[in-house]
Structure 1
């Protein structure tokens, strides 16, 4: 891995869940961290940047790690699609305008892939199904054309996670988690593994790299352990009806549903990433979901 000690590293989205982990990891190896975003990051210098409006100030930066993004599972509709496009696509264009040939690691998502059987490698055609997946795919095409390193993690989890695990816990009903059956294997990504990959990727050739924990997990085992209650299987058509209702309600409330059509797809499709391309560059994911559970404070 290229040493970052003494380098000035710009981290966009550094106030967010993933960005703050990356900023801390960069500082831990001796980098001078500059945090770009609407809010300050966990350490280092803060430079205000609204990805929907302005070109970021990257003066003095030796490396750019881009994690600013519109994320989540928004209510369907043109307004949400436009909001995601403004950050994930137009914001990328503004970032590229400022990079000026600096090395760029652009964090995308496995949501750019359509669910498919078998391990998914980086050559799989892109086809995100939601505003998030579609705009991340469009943004990374621009970044790839500019010579960036693209990282595609799936389902990032860890301490402070505001999306994946809280949503699972909201799905608890009557002392159980209702999931469409049967069980399946899924790739997940510890935020520490993603942070390590961001730092390591500063020395990788341009292109796309899948990022995930070393081995896929049993969905049911992970959900039961995260929620502290057993899993009960329900028929997929019933789960689909619940998701349809949740999506309809979200249109009215403008809030993310606990179970949307997209979330249903993620829970019923065995998405396993092939991470051999990143491994070939010497990256080794060391954290596991068991490590997360062991470090989690007792309820």
Structure 2
């Protein structure tokens, strides 16, 4: 790959942002434009600003003509129903789409946004060398895609549970958990890493100067699961036994297999709510990146 830009030299660069019409991609596109870059938005739909170049990651090579740097955020995301069809769909985007992106990128610097879903859960703080594999089609295909990216010399970022303005996934799903003026959560309270979308965007713009490799990206400190959910939902948290919710997840997964819809509660979702996943972000911080935003900032600036 070519020599990456030096810190603070993004002004005037032509930065390609894939997945720019999505939640994270749009935030990164805005941050790149604010830094003075000319933004090329590669996605099925137009991004929030800049030049739109349509791209279907499942079919074609992206048009990176004139791009100096590639920030790859296009991905199939979510908690899909079990089965080969869903797995194949995720593979088309997260693995085959990555191969197409890397082929088109050539020797351009690439920052590839992965996910902490590639890790197996652990009670201890998770470093970048922690075992990978993932529990769902999403986690497994992100792990496979990032192997391609790392082999090509890209910088890989692994955020966890990204939240922020316009979040269509994490916070809306939590709010739907309110029942009878309270939120039922499996097992005791745990500590979890979350990632403000602004912190992820800052990391994406800083990462081209970092050595090739993987970096965990999260807010500066982990959060209490129960306190965060109570703040989001405006309702108290009540605990229910994990075996009870595990049985509910098994039933929901069976229904999803029959209907082809995303399960209301899956093994993956249960794991996310009961496993204390805390990311060690010291490697990214050693490169000069420091997460400035917190969940308290989000609460203060947005009515929930």
Specify the SS of the correspondent of 2:81: coil
Q: Deviations over 1:225-268 (max 9, x none)?
A: 00110000000000111111221222233322332111000101
Superposed, which structure 2 residues align to 1:98-177 within 5 Å? 98-177=104-183
Looking at structure 1, the residues matched to 173 and 261 of structure 2 have their Cα atoms a distance apart, in angstroms, of 12
* Cα displacement (A) at 1:2: 4.4
Specify the SS of the correspondent of 2:158: strand
Looking at structure 1, the residues matched to 27 and 215 of structure 2 have their Cα atoms a distance apart, in angstroms, of 19
**Contact 1:2–1:203 (CA under 8 A) maintained in structure 2:** no
TM-score of the superposed pair, with normalisation by structure 2: 0.96
Alignment match, 2:46: 40
Runs of 4+ residues over 3 Å off in structure 1:
none
Alignment match, 2:187: 181
* Cα displacement (A) at 1:159: 1.2
Alignment match, 2:26: 20
Alignment match, 1:75: 81
Looking at structure 1, the residues matched to 258 and 136 of structure 2 have their Cα atoms a distance apart, in angstroms, of 18
- Alignment of 1:291 onto 2:297: yes
Specify the SS of the correspondent of 1:264: helix
- Alignment of 1:234 onto 2:244: no
Alignment match, 2:224: 218
Looking at structure 2, the residues matched to 295 and 53 of structure 1 have their Cα atoms a distance apart, in angstroms, of 40
Specify the SS of the correspondent of 2:216: strand
How many residue pairs align between the two structures?
A: 298
TM-score of the superposed pair, with normalisation by structure 1: 0.98
Q: Deviations over 1:77-117 (max 9, x none)?
A: 00000000000000000001100100000000000000011
Alignment match, 1:58: 64
Unaligned runs of 5+ in 1: none
Looking at structure 1, the residues matched to 259 and 295 of structure 2 have their Cα atoms a distance apart, in angstroms, of 33
Alignment match, 1:282: 288
Unaligned runs of 5+ in 2: 1-6
Looking at structure 2, the residues matched to 185 and 259 of structure 1 have their Cα atoms a distance apart, in angstroms, of 20
